[in-house]
Amino acid sequence: MSSLSRTRAEFEAAWHSFIRRRTAVFFTFFFPVILIVIFGALVTTDPTGGGLFTEPSEYYLAGYLAVVVLFTPISRVGSTVARHREGNRFEKLATTPLRRTEWLLAHTLVNAVLVGIASAILIAVLWALTDATFTLSPLLVPFVLIGSAVFCGIGAILGRVADSQDGVIAAANTIALPMLFLAETFVPPDLLPGWMGPVIDLLPLTYFSRGVREVTVAGGPWTTDLAILSGLALAFFLTGAYALPETD
């Protein structure tokens, strides 16, 4: 059985496992709609002409996509790793030809598909319910897929170091929530203290939001952001695969 066959088999198993959990399916794809409705109302409500959420609607497309790219992979992969550890699944997998890199690649591909579908729903809802004007660039695809891979790797690391599924969720929220608002998503950098500039540049999500904004709104250079995001994806994927336990 080749590496491709093993990865495909694990992908199909992980996909069917997700499809069987109807609540997870519902909230994975309905969450973008809730997000647009809530933040869309905030963006279009600007009685004073200042403060947060006063940029044009299209400015926040990168932020909306960042929510899906960040939270879906980091929580799903982290919880899956923790659940496998609690059920001694990795000990059983160690008796099969499936390698840790193949296991994580399969789950990364599943999450990339889910994030891609959720992102498409989000863009459609944003287009239908707001006055946002942006370019639907094909470059969105690599940014979404590679961004998902970054946080799948981080999720695998959290699943390894946390002691339970609840611990994974707590750790994921502790990392993701500050990153969501600091990584040039919903809050423009000029509204943040100047000393936070170096911190912003250290956040993986920053290069996703910058790149997405360049290809959809600003029309500026995006290659550096995509290159850095790709390097981070490779680094976190390899670290996450190495962190996966062979036995429990």
Predicted structure pTM score: 0.88
Give pLDDT, residue 39: 67
pLDDT of residue 211 exceeding 90: yes
What CA–CA distance (Å, rounded) separates 81 from 90? 9
Distance CA 247, CA 220 (A): 48
Q: What contacts 184, CB < 8 A, 6 or more positions away? A: 62, 200, 206, 209, 210, 213
Picking from 34-43, 84-93, 137-146, 161-170, which range would have the lowest pLDDT averaged per residue? Answer: 34-43
More confident residue, 192 or 225: 225
Half-sphere CA count of 121, side-chain side, radius 13 A: 19
pLDDT of residue 192: 79
Domain positions in the chain? 3-243
Q: What is the pLDDT of residues 47-85, one digit of tens each?
A: 445 555 667 778 888 988 999 999 999 989 999 999 888
pLDDT of residue 9: 92
pLDDT tens per residue across span 229-238: 999 999 999 9
Give the largest CA-CA distance in the chain.
Answer: 64
Q: What is the pLDDT of residue 51?
A: 52
Element (H or E) spanning 166, and its range?
Answer: helix 165-182
Burial code (b: 16+ CB inside 10 Å, e: under 16) for 217-229 equals beeeebeebbebb
Query: pLDDT grade, residue 45 (50/70/90)?
Result: very low
